[in-house]
Amino acid sequence: MNVRCAALLLAFAGLLVLSACQPSLSSAIQSPPTVQAGEPEIQAFFPRAGQDPAPVLVKLYSGASTSLDIAIYSLTHPDIVKAIGDARQRGVQVRVITDNEQAAGNTQKHAVDDLLTLGIPVKVNLHSGLMHLKMSVIDGKIATIGSYNYTQSASQQNDEVMAVVTQPAFVKSCQDEFNRLWDSPGLTDAKESY
């Protein structure tokens, strides 16, 4: 694991610990996050505790105004796929990175095809490991990260977590890592991989 990835994982773990220690965050956990200047915030969503991340992502993606970068292992939840497409149709610059093996499965292939049809650039990994990130960066101001895949089973059955973070340094780290991946030779255009 490279130093940047290790630092990102440690920062994420620290943010989750911080969020668990702040009662004001737990009271806000049921409502989708809002960004307020100067007030870094962390919210954690646990599907099995009745805190489905899908509506949170849909609201965040619906509020995107300039950019939406998504690195996701599994992308099949119809509401999330629709929200990504809707963002593109509003003129938001959207980029998606996903796992090559997952993108070859019927349900995810259909979702990726829908995104490609809308002109959304989608890249898949060529390297031997999985593209296992579950991360979004919205307008360079909000990051989501965690174990949560964008699937209905992750929303309804799995023990998962998704954190929404507005702490600027953390968001910048996520954006930097997304940009590094996007420009790396370890990815290829999804259209070429089918």
Taking only the tens place, the pLDDT of each residue in 19-41 is 444 433 333 334 555 555 555 58
Cα separation, 137 vs 143, in Å, equals 4
Determine the longest span between alpha carbons in the chain, in angstroms.
48
Residues with catalytic roles: 132, 134, 139
Specify the higher pLDDT residue, 109 or 27. Answer: 109
pLDDT, position 103: 86
**Mean pLDDT for all residues in the chain:** 84
| pLDDT at residue number 18 | 43
| Residue 151: per-residue pLDDT | 84
- Residue 98 pLDDT greater than 70, yes or no: yes
Whether 13 and 19 have beta carbons less than 8 Å apart is answered as no
Query: What global pTM score does this model have?
Result: 0.81
What's the whole-number mean pLDDT along residues 157-166? 91
Fold for the domain defined by 3-24+41-193:
Endonuclease; Chain A (3.30.870)
Domain boundaries, the chain: 3-24+41-193
